[in-house]
Chain A
Amino acid sequence: MAALPRQQHPDLLVGLETADDAGVYRLTPEIALIQTVDFFTPIVNDPYLFGQIAAANALSDVYAMGGKPLTAMNILCVSLKMVAKETLQAILTGGMDKIHEAGALLVGGHSVEDPELKYGLSVTGIVHPDRVLANSGARMGDALILTKPLGTGILATASKGRLATPEMEAGMAEVMRTLNRIPEDILIAGHIHAATDITGFGFFGHALEMARGSQVTMTLFASRIPILAAAREFALMGLIPAGSFANRRFCERHLQTAPGIDPLILDLLSDAQTNGGLLLAAAPQAAQGIVTRFQEEGCPAAALVGEITAPGKGIIRVEA
């Protein structure tokens, strides 16, 4: 969409140009509308889980802007000749359960005939116009928080190759179906300065967007970044998806890696995620409290993973 002409409107707070997670439009001085859409092909075999993951993924873009989802519409591409009615029912139930868990309502949807099954949501939410969390607000001295472990792309590849155990698959699905909801008390406290969710561009890709947008240099501490244990093993075996390699190649020239960093960690930090965690830049004195709240609210792996260390043009330093 970079080729489309720029649009300007006094109430358009976040549009196409910043590679952000959703669009934001001011309705009143107190309320801005957030809109987003996302759908994809199945990444797990269980249809109910797939529905949950696809819905949690679509809702995530509203959370990444600091917003609260209100309503959602189903998007379904399916061939009724190829997919059993029960399977379809399970996907839609999984999606609806996630929408309800998020405190939102399913209000409609649309389906098209398609031999390749796809499901997702269009989500509408709200946020106070002064509390929009763009990916460009990180400040000097901020602490960086990652709320979920990385490695779901590598695990999904291993799962496709029938190398992952059912326990590993369950662990991966649990990460992907967990909502990226930011507890309301944290949003109101205002200590989060920037947010984005980790998806297809991997941790490095999304961190780089934040570093560039905020005009800063980030320092990441590789040993503190939560990673699914099985993902390391499978990365060593060569089960890295093509998208993750592309991410690494794209980000490499913006990385400064300290001597002695295991090259494997660069693969893991480039791994394309499905509904990965939030990357947050927060005031350093509040950061540990935010991590603890995420751990209490269903993200046990949440951790402090780095700092904003200097002004700059978007460089990521990787230290041990």
Chain B
Amino acid sequence: MSQTVDARGLSCPQPVLLTLEALQKSNQGQLTVLVDTDTSKENVLRAAASQGWQEAGVQEQGGEYRITLTKG
């Protein structure tokens, strides 16, 4: 089951908090996170790694990032 967290337009640390909440809730599977700053992208990737999730891809388009995370 794939979920999406749309954290565009939110300032730090909100994107990370939303990502952590979603990761903890779903426990495994796939999660897509949308962010619109470099800082948020870096921080979301760190947050995912700290919970044992893997980065399955980051797509950039017009300054926005679509981050795909997987676990299990």
Q: Which residues of A contact B (CB under 8 A)?
A: 157-158, 160-161, 163, 235-242, 245
Contact = CB atoms under 8 A, between A and B. Distances in A.
Interface residues of B, number: 19
B44 interface: yes
Interface of B: 12-14, 16-17, 19-20, 37-39, 42-50
Contacts of A158: 13
A158 B16 CA distance: 10
A163 B50 CA distance: 15
Contact of B42 (A157, A236, A238): A238
Nearest to B17: A161
Contact of B44 (A238, A242, A245): A238
Contacts of A160: 13
B22 to A, nearest CB: 13
B43 A240 contact: yes
A199 B35 CA distance: 28
Nearest to A233: B50
Given A242-B39, A245-B39, A237 B12 contact: no
A236 B37 contact: no
Contacts of B46: 235-238, 240
Contacts of B48: 238
Contacts of B44: 238
A239 B39 CA distance: 10
Given A157-B13, A158-B13, A160-B13, A239 B43 contact: yes
Given A161-B13, A240-B43, 12 more contacts: A157-B12, A160-B13, A237-B46, A237-B47, A238-B16, A238-B46, A238-B47, A239-B43, A240-B39, A240-B46, A242-B12, A245-B38
